[in-house]
Structure 1
C-alpha cells in the first residue's frame, strides 16, 4: 500500500508540482490549500506524513502542527519561505520533524521525508519509476511511454493507471486498489471505469489487445503488469 502524504500548501503552482512529483515517486497525495481543508482531510483519511506550509489563507500552519502533536504521531515537515533561525527553532521545539526552506529540490525533500518516516518506524523503499518489457519502455519521471522506439500518447488517466501498475509490476493489483489510487476512494465500486481504460491501454500497448501479453487480467481479482526486465 502507498504511503499517504498530506500536502498543506496554498500556492497552487507549487502544490500541483509537488503533488505530481510525489505521485510519481509512489506516494498517495492529499492536497489542502488551507487549514480548514487540512483538518477535513485529516478527519477522514489515514495520513503517514504531513508537508506543512506556514502562511495559509485562514491562519498559520503552526496551529495545525500543535493540533497534530496533541493527538497524532505522524512526522511533520515544515516547508516555508521563512529563512531566519527563530521560527525554525520554535517549530522544531514544538514538534516538527524537519524544516525545509523554499526553494528546495525534490531530491532533498524526498530524502528528508524518508529520514522522518524511518525515525517514526515507517519503512520506506525507492519507488519504481522505470519499466522495460520487450519493446515497451515507461519512464514515470519523464512522463514518457515508448513502444518499438516510438512515443505513445496516453491520456492523463491512462498514464495514471499504467503508472500504478508499473509500481507493482509482477504483482496483482486489485480492482478496488486501482480504482482508489487512480480515481479516488469514492469510485471503488465503478469497475466499468477499469474495463474501459484497460481496454484503451491494451489497444495502445499490446500487439493483440484481445490476447494481451503485458496487461493481464486476474479474473475476479484485478490486473497485473508482467514483470519488467532488469
Structure 2
C-alpha cells in the first residue's frame, strides 16, 4: 500500500516512516501542508497520516480541502492537539481516526492495519481466494498449509491485486502502489515482480492474468 506521511517534526516522521516501511508499505513523506495539498491532487494514496500543526497550511484545512474534492482516502490524524473540540472537529471533517502524541508505535501500527483493512477488504483481516490465504496484518500468504516465501515487493503486488480481485489494475496503478518518490520502480522491475509472483503461485488455483493493453488481474480458477 502507498502511504503519505505529512509531518514536520523530522524525528516523528522518521519513526513513522520506518514503521510503515518495515510493514512493507511504500511511504512518501512531506513536511509542508502546501506541498502535501499538491501531492494529494496528483497522486493516489491508500492512507494518509496527517499532523495538524503544519507550516503554511494547517492540517485541518488540508483535511477540509481533501474531503471537498470527494477524496475518500482514509486519514489517520496524529497530532499533539488533544482537546476534545479538536478531535471532534477533525472527525466531523472526515478524519477516520485520531491519535494523540506521544503514542506507542505498536498502537499506531495497529490503527494503520485497521484502516487499511477497512479500505481494501471491508475490515476482513484475511483474504481467501481459492486455496490462497492472505494474512494482511502479518503480511503472510499460504497456499493451503504451505507458506509462500514472498519478498515485500511481491507481497505488495499480491495484496494490490487481491484487493481488486477480478478487476484489472493498470501497470501505472501497480507501479504507484509499489513505489515512492525515493524508490522508483521501472516497467522492467514490475515485469520481474509479476514473473516471480506468478512462479510462486504455480500449482495453486490462483493466477495473474495479463489483459493486453490494460494491465493485470488476479483470478481464481472457475472451479475454485
Higher relative contact order (CA 8 A, sep 6+): 2
- Find the partner of 2:126 among 123, 130, 154: 130
Stretches of structure 1 lacking an aligned partner (at least 5 in a row): 115-122
8 Å CA contact retained: 1:129, 1:167:
no
Superposition TM-score, scaled by structure 2 size: 0.63
Residue 223 of structure 1 aligns with which residue?
216
Superposition TM-score, scaled by structure 1 size: 0.61
Residue 17 of structure 1 aligns with which residue?
19
Structure 2 Cα separation of the partners of residues 183 and 201 of structure 1? 17
8 Å CA contact retained: 1:217, 1:224:
yes
Matches within 5 A, 1:12-161: 12-17=14-19, 30-35=28-33, 38=36, 41-42=39-40, 44-45=42-43, 51-54=49-52, 59=55, 63-66=58-61, 73=68, 78-84=77-83, 88=86, 92=89, 97=94, 100-102=99-101, 103=103, 106-107=110-111, 126=122, 129-161=125-157
Q: Secondary structure at the match of 2:174?
A: helix
Q: Secondary structure at the match of 1:171?
A: coil
- Find the partner of 2:179 among 173, 176, 183: 183
Structure 1 residues 77 and 168: CA distance shift in structure 2, 3 A: closer
How far did 1:219 drift? 2.6
Aligned residues: 204
Aligned-CA RMSD value: 4.6
Stretches of structure 2 lacking an aligned partner (at least 5 in a row): none
The structure with the larger Rg is 1
